[in-house]
Every structure is written in structure tokens, then in C-alpha cells.
Amino acid sequence: MPAHPPMTPTQAALCLSFSPGIGPVAYWRLIAYFGDALSACAASPKALRGAPGLSERQRQTVATASSFLPVAIAEEERLCRLGAVCIRHDQPDYPEKLLQLTDPPPIIFALGDRSILTKHAIAVVGARAASSYGRRVAFTFAKGLARRLTVVSGMALGIDGEAHRGALAADGHSIGVLGCGLDVAYPPGNARLFSAMREKGLLISEYPLQTPPDAFRFPARNRIIAALSEAVVVVEAAKRSGSLITAQMALDIGREVFAVPGQVDSSKSAGCHWLLQQGARLAMSADNIMEELGLPIAETPPEANAIALNDEQQAVLALIEVYPQSREEILGRSGLTPARFSEILIRLELEGLLETVPGDMLRRLSEN
């Protein structure tokens, strides 16, 4: 019978990662003692007894790690069919910034443009159940930040999704960090975004293919979001939320934290207000954030912001404030017929200058 080819370094890393009970902490203890995954997989029971910080059960697991070689080979084949790759911590493509974590992922799986990993990045995170204000701010900030930086987020509904969409809308770079396997489009509501990120951005995960989106994986994912970025912008967050965990992880490894203020009585912004009380930087715009980080601001051509409104449309827009107002009240002040007033509102909404909020209320979105 022909001899089996020797195990590769990547297959050894996969074998260890597939071994029950061998998480990042145990993996790094093995690397520190044996030097690399191949040596750990080949270690004898006697040699494993000398490895510090491992339980007896973990030593027994590592002694049989090579039995997972068929699983590792199958994983490589599935990754290849998907167009994805496995990147070990000792390979050039592995982001050096991740090694600043106390428990960096030994391997990451990547799908998309891996060159994005080498670029300067900023995280934009926030609530899943975001308000229209939060979604708009996340999209607008990310669109502006993507002129200079890669936008990193967690591919969740709400703020995360809008951050990715904003970056892609600017033809910028974006990295989505998953709490599941690369072949699991989660949440289902972001399926189209998932496809767009595969084509135009980059999806990464520390989890093998077919790993389900279990709740406990998302806090672990947050440390990767923080580490990949030079700063974290929290757009909207409750007082107790995963976004605040990401912000704390960012501070722990020396990253800047920005917070976007909201209405003082909004529970969705309570976490951001708390961060500002604790000394986070105030985020007022993409340009403001880049100035705070010492980055040059990319000039936007004047025509890109020019919106031509006639006198009647400008007069109606001037009546609308940034806080919600009654549609009927504004109609009465405008002196217009209901039909003409509705025509003008449609134009202003199409131009992105106002929005309708629950209760038949109107609010202004930006200055003309």
C-alpha cells in the first residue's frame, strides 16, 4: 500500500482545533511548549506529561489528535470548494494585530479579499434592534470612514449590517467577523449582505465550516472585531450589551473607543452615554473621527452633496426639525394644500433629507 503523505502544518493545526477540549488557551500552551502544531500532534504521552497547564484529559486528547486527520482533510476540501482558506497564526496572511489578544484564534477561516486584512481598520458596532436614527448614523459614518479605513463589524442585524452596507456603498473595504462557520449565512435577514461581502469584502471566522451560530460564540467573536481595528465606534447600545463588551475589549488592548450620542431618554443610547461618561471620545461624524485619529480627511467633490431644491421645497424643509414633529402641524404652518405638501415630502424623502417615523411624525435628516 502507498504511504500516506505526511501531515501538513495546517492539517496539524486543524487536528488540534477539532480535538474536544482544546480551545485557544490549551492550543497556545501546546505551541509554547512544543513549538508548533505538528510537534504537538506527534508528541508521545510521556512528552505530553511535561507540557504545563494542561489537564490529564487534555493530554489524552492531544495524544489522539492525529486521528482527526481525515476530518482536517475534508475541511480543507470543503474550504476549497467554497473558495475560502484556512490561515494559521504563523503564516504571513495572519493579521499580526490579532496576536495582541491574550487568547488569539490559532487559525482563522477567510472568504473574500484577504488583502483587506493588511489595511488600517475601524470597527462600527451597535444594537441589533437599532432605531432608524442608529441605522442611518451607522450607514453614514461607515460610508465616510470607508474613504480611508476598512470598516469592521459583526454581520448582525441593525447597526452591524448598516455599517457593512455603508462601507460597500462607498466602494470601500469591509470585514465581517462571524460567530459561526463561513458557510452559515446568519442571520437569514442578512443573506443578500452575506453574498455582497463574499464578492466585495471579506468574511472571517475562527470556527470551522458548518459551525452553528450558538449564542456563546458571539462574545468571543467580539474580541476579534476589537483587535482587527485601530478604534471602535459604538453607534447605539443598551447599558448591558455586546457592543459594550467589544468596547471594553478594545480598551484592554489599547484601542480608541468612540461613542455616538443619542436622545437622553433613549434606552438604545444609554450604553453610548455611559461610555461618554467614562471618557470615550465623542463621535459626531466620520470626518470628526478621522481627525481624532490623526488621519487626513478625504475631500468630497462639492457636486456629490449638491441637492437642487426649489424655493417651495426649501421652505418646507426649513419647517422640519431633527426631532420628530407632527405632519399635520407642519402642513398647517406651510400654507400648502395637502396634495402639494405630500408631493414635496416625497421629493425630500427621496433626497434623503427627511424621514417619516411612527405616529405620522416627520424629522429632518441632514442639512441642505
In order, the DSSP letters of 10-74 are: HHHHHHHHHSTT--HHHHHHHHHHHSSHHHHHH--HHHHHTSTT--HHHHHHHHTGGGGHHHHHH
| Mean pLDDT for back-to-back runs of 10 residues, the chain (368 residues) | 73 96 94 96 93 94 95 97 96 94 95 95 95 91 96 97 96 97 94 96 97 92 96 94 92 95 89 95 94 80 64 89 86 90 88 83 72
Report the mean per-residue pLDDT for the chain. 91
Task: Report the C-alpha gap between 173 and 155 in whole angstroms.
Answer: 14
The angle subtended at Cα 240 by Cα 162 and Cα 230, nearest 5°, is 55
Q: CA torsion 188→193→197→203, rounded to 10°?
A: -30
Residues forming a β-bridge with 354:
364
CA proximity to 141, closest of 171, 177, 175, 170: 170
CA proximity to 145, closest of 268, 42, 284, 241: 284
pLDDT digit string, tens, across residues 154-206: 999 999 999 999 999 999 999 999 999 999 999 999 999 999 999 999 999 99
Q: Write the CA distances from 275 to 151, 224, 279, 280, 284, integer angstroms.
A: 21, 20, 6, 5, 14
Is the distance from CB of 327 to CB of 360 less than 8 angstroms?
A: yes
Task: Report the C-alpha gap between 255 and 228 in whole angstroms.
Answer: 10
For cell 512528552, the residue is 47
| The CATH number of domain 9-79, selected from 1.20.58, 1.10.20, 1.10.150, 1.10.101 | 1.10.150
Domain boundaries along the sequence of the chain: 9-79, 112-302, 307-364
For cell 459626531, the residue is 284
**pLDDT for the residue 303:** 47
Name the fold adopted by 112-302. Answer: Rossmann fold (3.40.50)
CA proximity to 308, closest of 351, 366, 363, 354: 351
**pLDDT for the residue 107:** 96
Name the fold adopted by 307-364. Answer: Arc Repressor Mutant, subunit A (1.10.10)
Q: How many CB atoms lie within 10 A of CB 262?
A: 21
Residue type at 141 in one-letter notation: F
Q: Verify cis geometry, omega within 30 degrees of 0, for the bond prior to 187.
A: yes
Task: Report the C-alpha gap between 107 and 17 in whole angstroms.
Answer: 8
Cell numbers found for residue 36: 508548533
pLDDT digit string, tens, across residues 100-138: 999 999 999 999 999 999 999 999 999 999 988 899 899
